Every structure is written in structure tokens, then in C-alpha cells.
Structure 1
């Protein structure tokens, strides 16, 4: 039997105000750090980071990043970083900034620390990063040799972000249980090209359980400017449980469909997590889930504000030809084969039509 692989960051730290302790984590990796972020992050949190670095005798160089991460942008960042002497990259911001930090680490071969300022996805814990082409289409998924040495999640920063970021993170995380289950049952491979870990499957399952119980009240309170007692647990589920669940448990149709949805006019501009949430409904129909189960999922989606039809992603008026394009690109994704039986374009089109009818 093929050996299983379970991967994770070196250490995960979550709490209110932990970004103020960043200096000690940087120092554990190197006394010389390259800090990558956008101008807003530096303006808002830079003084706290500088003070913490000074307290731990860390020399920090700052490099600004914003926009799309293309191969050209990676080359520009690597060129700019050459003038600095650093042993660790500290990437602070949203998913694209964290991916930019991973790309720099891939080129430099040094340590990585990720500091998410929003919970829109689970990339902080993952070794993967995504490159786009000049037309803003997904070009490649790259892999670091290892995940971040430290993941530092300051829940005070996450709570300040607009709630639509967390909703996207919930959409990204809600599929991981079902995708890991398909990967495990089908004998598929996880993101390490190895046998999926049952421990990762359990984490993904519990991630879904927490979303079901805690996501709605947390979102309700955040919209009122309050933090629900379950907020900390939900953030751990969306970032840590989801991240470990997908990377060591594996992906399936829901994430494969983002390859197709990102080429569909309107839907292409929807957040990744909302694309995944819609695609999960398609996967569940492909699994022939019972009508009562599907109705329960739709109620959960409607309670949270997740998309239940293509028009919710901005893709109004999609035709069968559009469905077929999405299906073809879905089946070209590397983890589309992690499913309990082989699928055709017609199968996926039929499932998409069922999703649209159920939401009508």
C-alpha cells in the first residue's frame, strides 16, 4: 500500500493581538527578515511589527506587493529582494500576498512566516501557491517543499475585516469534508501526491461541523460590530482545520470546478470560496445525495449567504454550451479523478442543471 503523508506548518499561533509578538517568531527563523505586504497593512500595523522586531533584535526590510501574482510579478519581486540580506520572508495580508511570499521563498529557499489579515481562504497553512496570467486567469499551481515555519493569526485583525471575506473563507472550507471523503473513498492522492491521511479527513469533517453550528451566529454578530464567543473556533476551522484537511486529505470535484468557473463570464470575478461553495452543490448531486440532505444544505447556504445558483456568482444567462465548457475544464483539473466513479462532461452538466432547478 502507498505510504500516506500528513503535512502541516511548523507552528500555528492564533489569538487576539498575537501580531505584536511577531518578532520572537521571526527571530526563531532568522535575525534578518523580508516583510512583504501592501501599503495599507504597513500603515496600519507596521509600527507594532517594527517594535516587536526591535525587541528581538531582528533587522527587517520591507517590500510592497499588491495586485495579481503573475510570473512577471514574481520575477520583479525576486529582483527587488536581491538587494536585501534575509533568511525569512514574512508575508502579511490576504491570500495573494501570502502567495507572493511563497513565490519569493520558492526562489530564495528560505523560511516562511504567514500572517493573514483576512480569513478568506486557508492558504496560510498550505505549501501551495497560485500564479495567474496577464488576463487574470489561473495559470499554474506551484508547491513549496514545505509549509510555513509559523502561521500567525491575529483574531483582532481578522475581526476588523469586512464580513464578505470571512464568508468566502467559509465557502472555501465548507467543501473540504466532502472532498476529503471522496479522495479517501476513491483511493485518490492528496496534495503531497500520497495516500490521504485519515487524520486530515477527521479535521475536515469537524471543520464542516463547526461551520454548521457556529458560522451563522458569528456572521450575524460581526455585521453588528460584535464578536460572537464562537468566533475564535470558527477562524481555527476556516484556516487551520480546512487547510490541513485539504492538503493532507485531498481535493475532488468542488475545487476542480474552479478551473471552469474562473473562465465563465461573471463567475470569473467571484471570490474563490464562493466558486467552491457553488461547486460543492454540483459535487453533492454527482454523489446522488438524498433530497432531504440537499434541502438541508440549501437552507444552510441561504442562512449564511452562500451562492445556490450561477447567477449568485454573477453568471446570469449561462447556456448549456457554457456548462459544457465548465465541465470540460473541471475534468482537466488534476484532482478531478479523486471521485468514487469516473465522470463525463454530460454528468457534470446534468448536475449543474439540477443545482439550477433546485434553486429556482
Structure 2
């Protein structure tokens, strides 16, 4: 049986925050805005104004910075005996996941308001949980996807370009992961078979990323949204999110298990981790040299990692073995055309690493 999931409603465009209040009013009369101190200062006034105009009672909860079970319990305690009907999670991926976790705990509806386009968390029902030492500990799931996703591209355009680069990385991998999952008839994140719709979205996402990333990054450097940025944000937030949940994941995301366990890469942005994972997956797929060279050239244009060193890695063979062993144990690894061992992953990583100095030599 195929299963496809998605948010109930998606809005995107310049100054979309002005519409937030009326959209929240569709969901409830009271809401809690979850954001870190920076994002509260950035969007708080507009959220307050919009909700007040729509007659929505608003409270605010400052997110502590790391999505742990203890942090979510703390936030739930702040909601008191009469919790809000809606949680508005505003910010980056961790804040949005914290808002998701909170909404599930207090049984509230959920609106996500990304202030960066660094990943596709805003559309999904997946929650990535860490410990106090910032190590990934597991994944939780909401009963359903967000009720509302609202993306103000005027805000996105003023975020650091490195965060959009990470979003590009998170989005570009989906084509290759969904192809692998569909190829082995694996289950998607919802536990069903992947519909052809998800594969089509993954391909559309890839095509958009390749066509619009360079121009969209230029728009972010100017601080002004344009049509290229609008298309890219739709790809990085909406297409990418729908593709991975309903299409399935593979080696690229499995690599986060290993990369998050070693110094350097553990602190890298999620989108940069999975982008490096794509280079490893392509090596495992035995893609031809011209195809890999094309991908690497694109990575260089948009600030994606070409080596472990680009992720801050300063280790050696032992750390690479750790990355490989933990990655091989990840559930997504079964979504591949053949069984992959830790030794296979070490060889693929070594292949990726060997390509970087060769490229520099060629350019010298």
C-alpha cells in the first residue's frame, strides 16, 4: 500500500508573516510562539501584531537551544493547566522540531514558521532529538504533519547564505535517496510504499536546485527575495520535505549517524552532513566519473562540502571507521540496491577523500 503525507496548508512569499494571524485563527483562539531569543527579536513584533489583529491570544516561550526531552518537558510546564490550542514554532530546524515535540505533548495544533531555509523540517512530522552534549539520540514522530507551514521569504532572504547552502544540500540528496528506496521497494517514513508522486517531487526538487541555487544565493547575499529564491525555497522546504517523507531515505541520511559521532562533522549543519553523504552514496552506486565531477563542481559553486575536512574533520582512520560502523547500522541503509558493510563505507569515504586533492592539483 502506498502512503503519502503532507502539511494541511502551505503559504510562501514576501511578507507572508502579515498573514500569520488570520491563518492561526483558523486553527484556534490561543497560541504559543516558540522561538529562541534571536528569532523572538527578529519576528516577534510582527507575530504579535498579526495575531492581535486576528483576535488570537498569544504567549511566548523562549527555546533553550537544544532539543532534548528535558527541554521539551520544561516548555510543556510553562504552558500550565490551560495549554494553547496552537503552537507556532519559528526559527531553524531545532526550534521547529522542539515546537513539534511540544505540540504533540500538549495535544495542540502546529504551525511552523521557518526563518531560514536550511532544511525541510518545517513540513515534516519527524522530530530529531539530541542529548545535552548535542549528540543525536533518536527520532520521534508526530501523529500527523503540521497544520500550517508559513514561509516569509523576506525573512529567508536576510538569513546567512551558509544556511541556504545547507538547505540546498538537504534538498539535492532526495532524488538519489528516493530512487534507491523505490528501487528496493522499501517503506517510506510513514511505513508504506513510496508513491510515484514522491519520486516525481524528488526529481522536480533536484532540477530546481540545480537550476536556481546560484541565483538564489546571490539574492540572499543582496538580502532581497526574487523569483529564483522563491523557486529554491519551495524546493528546499516543500518539495524536499514531501519527497523524503513519502519517498524514503537512504545512505545520505544514514551518514548522519556516523558523522554526528565524531568531532568536527558533529558540529556541521545537517544539510552539509547529508551532502557529503551524497558523495559517499554516489561512490557506492559506482556512478561514472563525469557524473560525479558534475556534482562536485556544483557543490563547489554553492558551498557544499567536498571532503571531511570541509566538515571540520581532523581525525584519521579510526574516526573514519567509527563513521562507517555507525552509518552501517542505520535503518536507512537497507534502502540500497545491495547490502553495504562498514568496510564498503570506508572504501567509499576513501574514494571521496582521494578526489579532493586530485581536483586541487588539476586546478593548480
Q: Which residue of 2 aligns with 1:324?
A: 321
Larger mean Cα displacement after TM superposition, 218-227 or 148-157 = 218-227
Q: Which residue of 1 aligns with 2:360?
A: none
Answer yes or no: is the 8 Å Cα contact 2:307–2:356 preserved in 1. Answer: yes
Q: Which residue of 2 aligns with 1:298?
A: 296
Number of residues paired by the alignment? 357
Q: CA deviation at 1:220?
A: 2.7
Q: Which residue of 2 aligns with 1:79?
A: 77
TM-score w.r.t. length of structure 1: 0.96
Q: Which residue of 2 aligns with 1:213?
A: 211
Equivalent-residue separation in structure 1 for 2:86 and 2:219 (angstroms): 37
Larger mean Cα displacement after TM superposition, 333-342 or 223-232 = 223-232
Asked whether 1:353 is paired with 2:342, we answer no
Equivalent-residue separation in structure 2 for 1:283 and 1:265 (angstroms): 22
For residues 261-272 of structure 1, the aligned pairs below 5 Å read: 261-272=259-270
Equivalent-residue separation in structure 2 for 1:161 and 1:41 (angstroms): 11
Quick one: which of 331, 341, 344 aligns to 1:334? Answer: 331
Equivalent-residue separation in structure 2 for 1:86 and 1:304 (angstroms): 41
Q: CA deviation at 1:267?
A: 1.0
- Structure 2: state its 5+ residue gaps: 358-364
Q: Which residue of 1 aligns with 2:164?
A: 166
Q: CA deviation at 1:94?
A: 1.0
Q: Which residue of 2 aligns with 1:89?
A: 87
For residues 103-122 of structure 1, the aligned pairs below 5 Å read: 103-122=101-120
TM-score w.r.t. length of structure 2: 0.95
Q: Which residue of 2 aligns with 1:193?
A: 191
Equivalent-residue separation in structure 1 for 2:113 and 2:193 (angstroms): 29
SS state of the match for residue 335, structure 1?
A: helix
Q: CA deviation at 1:221?
A: 3.6
Q: CA deviation at 1:227?
A: 3.9
Q: Which residue of 1 aligns with 2:361?
A: none
Q: Which residue of 2 aligns with 1:256?
A: 254
Q: Which residue of 2 aligns with 1:150?
A: 148
Q: CA deviation at 1:180?
A: 0.4
Cα pair distance change 1:225/1:111, threshold 3 Å: closer
Answer yes or no: is the 8 Å Cα contact 2:154–2:224 preserved in 1. Answer: no
Q: CA deviation at 1:134?
A: 1.8
SS state of the match for residue 358, structure 1?
A: helix
Q: CA deviation at 1:83?
A: 4.5
Equivalent-residue separation in structure 2 for 1:100 and 1:291 (angstroms): 41
Cα pair distance change 1:84/1:34, threshold 3 Å: farther
Quick one: which of 121, 124, 127 aligns to 2:125? Answer: 127
Equivalent-residue separation in structure 1 for 2:288 and 2:41 (angstroms): 51
- Structure 1: state its 5+ residue gaps: none
For residues 4-153 of structure 1, the aligned pairs below 5 Å read: 4-153=2-151
Equivalent-residue separation in structure 2 for 1:40 and 1:262 (angstroms): 25
Equivalent-residue separation in structure 2 for 1:15 and 1:134 (angstroms): 36
Answer yes or no: is the 8 Å Cα contact 2:36–2:65 preserved in 1. Answer: no
Answer yes or no: is the 8 Å Cα contact 1:222–1:228 preserved in 2. Answer: no
Answer yes or no: is the 8 Å Cα contact 1:88–1:111 preserved in 2. Answer: yes
Q: CA deviation at 1:120?
A: 0.8
Q: CA deviation at 1:133?
A: 1.0
Equivalent-residue separation in structure 2 for 1:267 and 1:140 (angstroms): 18
Answer yes or no: is the 8 Å Cα contact 1:34–1:84 preserved in 2. Answer: no
